[in-house]
Amino acid sequence: MKKENKEISEEIKRLLELRKEIAKRRPEFVRQESWRYKRVKPNWRRPRGIDSKMRMEVKGWPKRVKVGYRGPKKVRGLHPSGYKEVLIHNPKELEGINPEVEAIRIAHTVGAKKRKEILEKAKELGIKVLNPRGVK
């Protein structure tokens, strides 16, 4: 059983590295004409105009979002450390966490007192905290 888990984690590490390499080659997808007008934000929107150069994929225009730029399915949505992220608001939410697969991120609305409680309980349960800063 342990050997299987190790193999899976090795595969996940390999896929995370692959995802990083794919991300390096992935272009920055920008909204059409966002570089031209201040009022048009660069957030991606699909080009739909009938004469749109970007829609027709004319050479020299920015790349469009396509499925081929996606990362490996097994590591999609995982934190770079390989853990699945879970957002936590209070110490009670730590009860259903699997420390081998999941890591926690403390919500930004949590104050110092509750953050300290969450950190203590997470350490006790052996759960990785992705943003432990803030409390000494």
Residue 77 lies in a domain: no
Tens digits of residue pLDDT in 11-29: 999 999 999 999 999 999 9
Taking the C-alpha atoms of residue 11 and residue 20, their distance in angstroms, rounded to an integer, is 14
Residues 60 and 100 in one domain: no
Taking the C-alpha atoms of residue 41 and residue 51, their distance in angstroms, rounded to an integer, is 21
Amino acid residing at 111 = G
Residue 104 lies in a domain: yes
Q: Which domain holds residue 17?
A: 2-70
Residue 131 lies in a domain: no
Residues 14 and 56 in one domain: yes
Residues 17 and 54 in one domain: yes
Whether the predicted pLDDT of 122 surpasses 50 = yes
What pLDDT score was predicted for residue 4?
A: 55
Contact 131, 109 (CB under 8 A): no
